[in-house]
Every structure is written in structure tokens, then in C-alpha cells.
Amino acid sequence: MEELDALLRDKVRVLGSQLGGTIERQLGDGMLEQIERIRKQAKLARHGDPKERETLLAMLHDISDDELGPVVRGFNQFLNLANIAEQQHGISWRRSEHLQENVDSMFSELLTRLESSGIRGIDLSQQVADVNIELVLTAHPTEITRRTLIQKYDHIAQLLQRRDDLRDGHPDLANIEQEISLIIDEIWHTDEIRQVRPTAVDEAKWGFAVIENSLWYAIPALLRDLDQELRARGSSALPLTAVPIRFSSWMGGDRDGNPNVTATVTREVLYLARWMAADLFLRDIELLGMQLSMSEASADMRQQYTGREPYRDCLHDLRKGLEDTRRWADACAAGESTKKVPILEREDVIRPLKLCYDSLVDCGMDTIANGMLLDTIRRAACFGMSLVRLDVRQESTRHSDVLQAICEYYGWGDYNGWTEDEKQTFLLRELTSRRPLIPNFWTPSAEVQEVLDTMAVLATPAGDGVSCYIISMASEPSDILAVALLLQACGVKRLLPIVPLFETLSDLEQSGPRMDKLWSLPWYREYSMCRQQVMIGYSDSSKDAGQLAAVWAQYQAQETLSRVAAEQGIKLRLFHGRGGTVGRGGGPAQRAILAQPPGSVTGGLRVTEQGEMIRFKFGLPAVAQRNLKVYVSAVLEANLLPPAHPKDEWREMMSQLAAAGVSSYRAMVKDNPDFVRYFRAATPESELGKLSLGSRPARRRSGGGIETLRAIPWIFAWTQMRLMLPAWLGADDALRVQVDNEQLPRLKEMYSDWPFFRTYIDMLEMVLSKADPAIAQYYEERLVEPELQPIGSVLRERLANMRKLVLAVKEQTMLLENNKALQYSMQVRDPYTDPLHYLQAELLYRERQAADMVSSQVERALMVTMAGIAAGMRNTG
């Protein structure tokens, strides 16, 4: 294998050496030597010699309880430092060519192709401005790293960037490395594991911090970059308030299965977002006040501000309004009343800034106008005074239960027992009734009252910061009409978008006909103004039917919804509920977007960014800027240079593959009576609950099989023991049947010519490269009772067959032949990740044997192994 990029290897070496120095100073050279011996032995064991592996296992078995903590912490922190080095090196101007992955030239090359197709000039600039991308930040519990440590990791990344920018031999290099050493000391003395589970408000504040520290800078930098490239080709400048990308959040609004997200929490988060927006704009205004000291101004400016420094006078008024807003939001978040009149609309921020901008341009001071002032205008256009718009999500039966309770109170009948037509008749009648729906003297259950309280929050000024109301497990038009009725009954006057979420295989298959029925209702067409968002769920459909059947159902649902919307005259925007892993729709953004059905992103793109992927993709301003540019390029290409529609024979092949895949997947996961027992024995699924990952419970309800388990811990657990089962199970049998039927040439053709199928196979390859049957087998040998172990043997055999099938379709001799960057990444990580796997299996064994007598050292070490493996795998849930 080729050597890792020399500069990246040097960064990893420096960070590893500094970590080693920290361990030696804290625990002595004996502990450092022990960790180093384990690392070197793990590297030897990687080559597949059983004797070397047995030697490694013996070394790990001999570790005492007192030594466990330092050993696992050492490996865990190295993996976190390796992540920092990789992330920072990915944006460094000094990285090797083979690690650039074409991101830097992606937009420029796309512009060339667009110009060749006849799209240029003002049309091109307007197309970029109108791509209509919305990224939705969610707090799904896969971000295992504490915020305190994230801030320290970010500081190290900044120091590595400074180190890159200085020439060899610069006198400051030694100071930079000394500062890195200091921060690594701080990291080592900081607890990696959260002792208290974060609240939903804590999660929202973490989301605000991502904006404050990264996206606040990335957005104007992105627009400046796009603008320069467009102008260089003779296109017009982007409009001042162009917003190709916006941000929303589920943090504090996603109450589906999370009893910790209440109306009170949502209200507090909405006001905190207002406070944060005002605070960030105040910081900008403070800097602009120092810059805009000039006195020459346009007639329009002089008409409003007659003083010697009109720009500062204008900014002073804006600053006063923002200070009032901050005080108002602070009081409201605390539940106090205030008479302050705040700035609530983005236009109220943009208007005075635009006045300053136009005046500077009129007076020939374009350079000043297009400096920080333009950046602040663009921030105002993107983030507004709500900073990040909040989605509210609730499960459909919660609304049905409210209506059931109301009907019972009035004696109207059994709402939940009615047919769909009866429900629609009732709902439409009540939507046009002038009589209040909710009784005045009524004491409903706590669950019903909570739904109504949430609706009431949306009727307050804070509710203007809510972007939409999402209904999970939506299945019929009545689910949407029920929410519309309850919003109306609780005083919500604006026509808040209501978004059905189709998650299971059957719901995806029926999504088109059900939306067709809804869009045929005159009342709803007027309510929605013929605009509709529909959310496609990736997590639950994959857990329900297997990844292969799920991706095909998602593809077909998008096609059908797009067609039906066009027929009904509805402007459709699809919302993709993706996760960080392949098992939850994850993967490179560009590939994922271009793999969508042609025409399915014409209304724009809305997509979730979840858990640890937010930090990896948007944690640093330069990293965020690159990833945002990828989104713009991909959506632009999907709309203006869409791929051809798939051939009928390819669609038929996919339908056959999906049918075989879901049958094979469910035969193992749902029909095998011993599978759930094997899963819980072989993986740390039961122990994951000890990690204070997020505010949401891991299960929808206690007991039961995998249907009660959320998709994230389901995937997280399989990743921890390296079988990666959710991403490939079922696809192995489906592909094998077609290869046995001599259909390999057609599969190769589909891989070559169909972006959807190529992306799916490439994602499979990536997951398979991270799977490790030897490690999975060790977990089984250590943790699973003998009568269940045949299940593991079958799964590992199927995994091996899956690898052969992917290689055959891709016509390769080894996995990742064409992905050198990931090869190098895993090459660096394996010697550190492998010992954590073996130690985790050993610690699980000790804990399960000891029951309630487990030592605190063992329990803590076990949690650190989970964090370390998550860092090593990168996309954990």
C-alpha cells in the first residue's frame, strides 16, 4: 500500500508524540511503554497471523483493573487526535493531491459544463442563488464527544493550520507545538465521558455553538467564493441577500419518542435562539462601528442621519434595537413578561445595513461596502433573527389521541375507530366551523395537555421561529388534517407547513397515493397554497426492511411523489431524513444528491445533518465552507444537468433485488427466534444506555424486539463490534441470486451507467471495508452462549460472500482500490482501534459476569472503549 500523505503522517506523529509525553509525565514511562507495546503488537496482528493475534489477546488479558483506564484512554485519545489531523489536513493548502477528492475544483468544473450547455451570465448567478438548500441540524445521540473536549480539539486544529502556514524553520513553530502539548495535557486531565445526560436545551445550545463558532463565518465566506467564481466567468454578482443555503434544527423541537422535549423546552429554545441571533449581530455591529467611520454619504443616507458620522449613527440605532431584543428574549426564555419591542424580522436588520451599503457604493467606496458589511448583510439574510428555524416533530397517534379525548368529552363518538373517510369528513367540518373546538372547562390527560401546550407555544411570537410541523408515522390524509385542526384550535394564525414523514416500507410504498388524496382536497390546497414538503425516512425503513429494499422504496417514493405533485400542480420539496451511516442513508453528500431520481430536487433540497457528522462536516469554518460548496454544486448539477432516467430493465432488476433483499433480511432479523438474543449478547447494545449521549431514550418502549429499538443504537451496536450488519444484510442473498442467474453483466452495466446503483454499491464497499469478521468472531466467542454461536458463523460467511459480490460488480480485486484516502485513514486507525475492540469484549464479559459487583474502573473503561471505537469508525450511528 502507498504511504500516507507525508504531511498528514507528520501531523499524526506530532500529536501522537505529544500525547505520549502527556501520558509519560502523568503515569510514568512504564505505562507509556505498555501502551506502545500493545499498539505495535496490534499492528503485527493486523497482518492476519493467528499467533500474533493470540499474543495481543494475552497482553490485553493480563491488564489489571487499575491499568484498564489509562490504556483505553490512551487509545481513545489518539483516535480523536487522528480525526483532528485528518479533518484539518483536508482543508490545508499543503495536502497531497490524492487527498483533495476533487472538492476544490468541483464548482468550477460544473460551471464549465453548464456554460457548455448554454447556461451562463445572469441566468447562472440566479440559478446559484435559487438552489434552495436547507440543512436541518439534529441532536440524534451519536455525538459521543463532550462539548468541552470538542472546543479543545478545535483549538488544536487551528494550531495545526498555523503550523501549516508557517514555513519550515520559522521561530514560532516550537511555540505552536508547545501550545499543542499544553492542550493535550488539558484533554488528558478532562473526563471524556459525560456524567450527566444532556437536556434538550443543552443540545440546542450545542447547535447554537456550531453556528456561532463555524457556520457564522462559513456562510459569507462561501458566498464570497461563489461570487468570485461567477464574476470571473462574466456572470453578474450574486444578489446581496441571496440565500442558497439556510439552516433549521430539531434540537428542542423533536418530541417524537422523547418525553424530555416539552412545550416549556420548545418555548425556551425558541427564545434562546432569538437571544443568540441578537448577540451575534451585536458583535458584528460593534466591529462595523469601528470600521465605518467615514462621513461622506448619499442623499438617502443624509435624509435620515445628519450627523458627522452617519454610518455610525445608523449602526447605533440598530445596536440599540438588538440590545432590546436580547433583553426581551432573555426575559421571555426565563418565563418573565417584558414590554420591550424587539427586532423580530430579518428585514429590520437588513434595511439599515443595506442603507449603509448603498450609500458607500454611491460614494465610490465599493471596497469598504463589500467588506465586512456585505458579510453581515448575508448573515442577516441567512440566519435572520431566529438564528436557526426550529422544526417541531410529533408522532401521529398523539394527535389522534387528542381528538379522541375531545370526541369522548362531547359524546361525538370513537374518533380512533372511525374510517378514514369519516375522519376526513369530521376534520373538514371542524376546520370550517366557527365554534371553538377545545372545551373551556375540561381537564384532559397530561399527554393530551402537552400536545395542546405545544400548539399554544406556536401561537406566540416565539412560534414565528418554527419552520414546520412534522408528523412521524403519518399514514393517511387525516393525520395532516388533524394537525391543521389542532393548530387552528390553539390559535396559530399563520399557515404553518405540515410535513408528513413516511418511514416504514409500506408507508413509503403508499406515500404517492396518500398525498394524491390529500392534494385533491380543496380546503388543503388553499391551506398549503399548493406547496408541500414531504419527508422521506431512512432510518426506520432500513431497520424495518433492510438497506437494499429501503433505498429502492425511497427512490420509487420520490419518483411517485414528484409525478403526482406535478399532476396536481403542487410545488414539492422533498426532505431527506438521513443519518451519518450508510444504514441510515449517510454517505458523501454529492454522490447522494446526484443519485436521487431525475427532477426530484427541482423544488430544492432539505436534509438532516445528524449527530457526530455535524462536527465532522461543519465544526470548523473552512471545513464547513467546503462541505456547503459541495451541496450547492450537487443540487445545481442535479437540476441543470440531471442524469438520464434508468432503463426499464434496470428498474425491474432493482425490484427483484429489493424483493429478495427484504425477504432475506426479515428471515434473519424477524423470523429467526434466536436473533434478538444473539444481537443483545454479541453487541454492547444493552450497555450503550450507560453513555449519556443525548436527551432522547434509546427505546421507544421497554421490552420487545428490535422494532422497539431506535435505528441509531441498532446501528451503533453493530458498528462497535465491526459486523456492520444493518448496511448489507439481505443484499448478499439478493445479489447472489442474480449472479447465479448469470445477471452479473447487467449488474455491471447498472453500476457503470446508473448513479443511484453506483452510489449504493460504493457505499456498500465503504461499509464492508470497515467490517472485520475476526473482531466480530472474538466478541461472539467471549460473549455469546454456544447454542447461539451458529448464527454468528452464518453472518460472517454471508459477510464474506457480500465482499466477493461487491468486488465482482465493481470489477476490483480488493476493496477501496479507488479510495486511497479511506485506505490511509483505516491504516492509521486500526492499530489503535483493534485493542479497544478486544478490550471492550473483555470488559463486557467481566461486567456481565460480575453483575452488580462490577468495579467502577471496569465500567468506566467500558464506556471509554465505546467512545474510542466511535472515534475510530467516524460514522457511528
- Do 391 and 250 form a contact (C-beta atoms < 8 A)? yes
Assess if residue 783 is contained within a domain. Answer: yes
| From 423, 543, 629, 770, the catalytic residue | 543
C-alpha cell recorded at residue 498: 405540515
Per-residue pLDDT band at 564 (split at 50, 70, 90): very high
Q: Which helix (H) or strand (E) holds 391?
A: strand 389-395
Q: Are residues 241 and 289 in the same domain?
A: yes
Q: Are residues 679 and 812 in the same domain?
A: yes
Per DSSP, the three-state class of 470 is strand
Domain total of the chain: 4
**493-507: buried (b, 16+ CB within 10 Å) or exposed (e) per residue?**
eeebbbbbbbbbbeb
Q: How many CB atoms lie within 10 A of CB 166?
A: 12
Q: Are residues 231 and 110 in the same domain?
A: yes
Of 593, 611, 629, which one is at a domain's C-terminal end?
Answer: 611
Assess if residue 503 is contained within a domain. Answer: yes
Task: Give 573's strand partners.
Answer: 533
Q: List the CATH number of the domain containing 439.
A: 3.20.20
Q: Are residues 654 and 526 in the same domain?
A: no
Q: DSSP states of 89-158 as a string?
A: HTT-TTS-GGGSTTHHHHHHHHHHHHHHTT--HHHHHHHHHT--EEEEEE--TT--S-HHHHHHHHHHHH
Of 801, 818, 835, which one is at a domain's C-terminal end?
Answer: 818
pLDDT tens profile 691-719? 655 545 555 555 556 665 666 788 889 99
Selection from 559, 571, 567 nearest residue 533 by Cα:
571
Q: Are residues 543 and 467 in the same domain?
A: yes
Q: Are residues 775 and 835 in the same domain?
A: no
pLDDT tens profile 304-336? 999 999 999 999 999 999 999 999 999 998 888
| From 11, 140, 399, 810, the catalytic residue | 140
Task: Give 608's strand partners.
Answer: 136
Assess if residue 496 is contained within a domain. Answer: yes
Paired sense of beta strands 389-395 and 245-249, if any: parallel
What residue type is 652 in one-letter code?
E
pLDDT tens profile 41-64? 998 998 878 899 999 999 998 888
C-alpha–C-alpha distance, residues 142 and 578, integer Å: 13
C-alpha–C-alpha distance, residues 394 and 373, integer Å: 40
Respond yes or no: is residue 320 known to be catalytic.
no
C-alpha–C-alpha distance, residues 86 and 8, integer Å: 7
Assess if residue 641 is contained within a domain. Answer: no
- Do 580 and 535 form a contact (C-beta atoms < 8 A)? no
Residue 135 Rama label (left phi>0; alpha psi -120 to 50; beta):
beta
Assess if residue 742 is contained within a domain. Answer: yes
Q: Are residues 497 and 569 in the same domain?
A: yes
pLDDT tens profile 401-431? 999 999 999 999 999 999 999 999 999 999 9
Per-residue pLDDT band at 827 (split at 50, 70, 90): confident
Per-residue pLDDT band at 338 (split at 50, 70, 90): confident
pLDDT at 163 over 60: yes
Per-residue pLDDT band at 587 (split at 50, 70, 90): low
pLDDT tens profile 751-768? 999 999 999 999 999 999
Q: Are residues 724 and 678 in the same domain?
A: yes
C-alpha–C-alpha distance, residues 760 and 550, integer Å: 11
Residue keyed to cell 443519485: 595
Q: List the CATH number of the domain containing 236.
A: 1.20.1440.90
Assess if residue 163 is contained within a domain. Answer: no
C-alpha–C-alpha distance, residues 616 and 625, integer Å: 12
Domain that holds residue 860: 1-100+820-877
Of 555, 589, 611, which one is at a domain's C-terminal end?
Answer: 611
Assess if residue 470 is contained within a domain. Answer: yes
C-alpha–C-alpha distance, residues 742 and 732, integer Å: 16
Q: Are residues 792 and 846 in the same domain?
A: no
Helices (runs of H) and strands (runs of E) counted in the chain: 38, 8
C-alpha–C-alpha distance, residues 796 and 802, integer Å: 10
Q: Are residues 809 and 842 in the same domain?
A: no
Assess if residue 180 is contained within a domain. Answer: no
Respond yes or no: is residue 543 known to be catalytic.
yes
Q: Are residues 342 and 352 in the same domain?
A: yes
- Do 201 and 265 form a contact (C-beta atoms < 8 A)? yes
- Do 247 and 386 form a contact (C-beta atoms < 8 A)? no
Q: Are residues 134 and 11 in the same domain?
A: no
C-alpha–C-alpha distance, residues 161 and 164, integer Å: 5
Residue keyed to cell 478490550: 839
pLDDT at 29 over 80: yes
pLDDT tens profile 859-877? 888 988 988 898 888 754 4
Q: What is the pLDDT of residue 696?
A: 52
C-alpha–C-alpha distance, residues 279 and 285, integer Å: 10
**10-29: buried (b, 16+ CB within 10 Å) or exposed (e) per residue?**
ebbebbbebbbebbeeebee
Residue 439 Rama label (left phi>0; alpha psi -120 to 50; beta):
beta
C-alpha–C-alpha distance, residues 847 and 862, integer Å: 9
What residue type is 106 in one-letter code?
M
